[in-house]
Structures are given as structure tokens and as C-alpha cells.
Chains A and B, each alone.
Chain A
Amino acid sequence: MKTKVDFPTINQKDPDGRRPDGSSYRVLVVDDSMFVTKQIGQILTSEGFEVVATAGDGEQGVEKYKELFPNVDLVTMDITMPKMDGVTALEKIMEFDKNAKVVMISALGKQDLVKQSLLLGAKNYIVKPLDRTKVLERVVSSLQ
């Protein structure tokens, strides 16, 4: 028997990166590794997020946040970076905007710094190696 109708779409789901009105959540990616920046960018844009800017160190990250504000919804922040580390950058961003949503990106073994970041106001953290599910889950929950 041949079916003439398409299978019904089940579990239809809107992309995680879009608001109910269809506009994209805007993300600033702060990381000194080109590889990680690209990886986060690919994961987020595939779900409809917009990466509005990237920064290669903490200092630049804080500057970019101030420049973009209020047109930025979320920051992903690497912990170990040259010039200014991610925890200091987080602190400076929180001083500037106490409602900032920052997700820390950490290598394993930085529990103390992750803890410190959460106390300083980071919404969540992701331990590398990054995978799609982990990144989306943490980012989405931070936006809610």
C-alpha cells in the first residue's frame, strides 16, 4: 500500500533560539580559542540564536557588552583567557548590568572558579568538551 499523504509532523518544536515573536536571542561569545568560538557559534545559530559579537579576552568581552547593551540577551564566557580572565569579566559585566545573563564555559577541574562565578551572578556553566545538547540546555535554561 502506498500512502499519498505526508507523515504528520509530530513533536514539532520551535527553534530554541527564537522568542515567541520569532526574533532571535542575541548572544555575545567571549573565548580566546577560535575553535570554541566557532563551535559555540555553530551550535547556537543552528537553533536560531544570533551571535551578535565575539571577543577574544575578558577585557574585550566587557567592552563589547557595554557597547551592545541593551541589545544583547546572553553571554557565554570562557574562564581561562589572557589579559582579563572570565571571572573578572563576569564581575565587571554584573556591576554594569545586574540582570546580565552569563553562562560560564569551563575546562574540567575549575570547580572553585565555577563556584565563585555562580556566586557572582553567572546563571549557569558548561564544562568542555562542549556538545550540542549540553550547550542548548544550559543556554535555554539561563534565558528563562
Chain B
Amino acid sequence: MLDVRELTKTYDGVAAVADLTFTVGEHEFVCIVGSSGCGKTTMLRCLSGLVEPTSGGVTLHGARVDGPPRDMAYVFQDYSRSLLPWMTVAANVSFPLPYKGLSKAEAAAATAEALDAVGLGDRGDAYPWQLSGGMQQRVAIARALAYQPRILLMDEPFASVDAQTRADLEDLLLRIWRRYRITILFVTHDIDEAVYLSQRVLVLHRPAHVHEVVEIDLPAERDQLSTKRLPGFGELRTRVLSSLRAPDPAGVNP
């Protein structure tokens, strides 16, 4: 469904994304890992149509992405900045919906359902800054859900919450992924998280291009304790890590 073909983005002659090619299928959960500064954020900005690629392109359901697509939602790493402090939780979730053509009643229903799905059904009247970090990120996920996307882009969404909250959010995301049958492209620098969540891990090297694809052949049902104890989990972890650290054969990296 999401087709990235020879995507290149250069800033002042320096490539942030170089010849990046991959596809994400319908209902897939794909994680992208790469060291910090490898061009992940630039890549996401190209995928979401926020910036024009220098060359190559992105297609979603066969249509070229040249602006933010209507069936794509985005969850940012920095929830405290992507949520608007002057709006209540419910307003933060619902304000994009009229621009998508939903009526007032439809928007209210979608908002209520999305907040219920993330377990914040009773906090709609609160302001984001009255909630904990983990709850704020759940609001951001609810906003993405209410937008009823077919694909969800997530940019290190759990990087700034504590470990326990992070595990809870990961499991919440897996439940949502199954229940709503959406496609998720999840960027992280945490290898455990990538292996635990996804069906496929793309390892990115700098400037952003796919160095290796690691298929995650773990049982579909994941659990923080038992999945991470599987011998396969450790092996996959090691494979992703060594792939991250591997030198580039073509000598792209100095």
C-alpha cells in the first residue's frame, strides 16, 4: 500500500535520504530502526508529504504523495508540542476531523470512540498539560485513531516516557493495530521495541537507505514477558544490532 521508490532528499547538497526503497503492505506492522541522525525524521517528513523529495517518490494506494494524505495519520515523538495546550483533550482529538469532511456528530462519535480505545474516555474535558506524559501520548494516539487512517506513521512515539509506561503503550498499540486493522510504520531507535512490535524491521544506514530487512518470525500474539524470553527474540535482537553496526559495503559511510 505504501510504496517508497528511490526516495532521495538532499539539503544544500548533503543527502539526508539516499535512494531509499521499500514497501509496506496492507495491515503490516513495520518498524524502522536507525542510529540517531541517520535521516529518519527527514524520511518521515517526505512520506507524510510535509516536504518534497529531491528525487524519487512515495505512493500510497497507487496515488503519488504530494501533500499530507487524508488516510494517513502521524504520531510525533514530542507529545507536549504536538498537542495544543489551549484545547481540551477532546478538542485536540476532534479538531482535524471537520477538515476531513466529518459532520459535528460524526466527529464527536469518532472522538469518543478513540478516547475509549486508549482508555481515556473520561478525560475528554481535561487539558493535555493536566495529564502525565504517557496519557498525553495516548491522547496523540487517539487523535490519530479518530482521523480513521489506513496507515499510521509513528516517529519514536514512546522515546520520552518511562519504561513501564512504554511497555503499556506498546501493548496498547498492538491491540489497536489488531482491532482497527490499520497499517503501522513505526520509527524507533530501540531494538527491543522494534523486534517486539513488528513483523518486519528495516535497518537504516546513513544517509537514510535500507541496509537490511529482518523478518520477525515470532508468534503473532506478543507478550512483554514471554515473547521477550523466547530464544528467537534474542537472536533477532542480535541480528538487528549487528546489522545496525555493520559497515556499508558500498563505502557510503566514511
**A interacts with B:** no
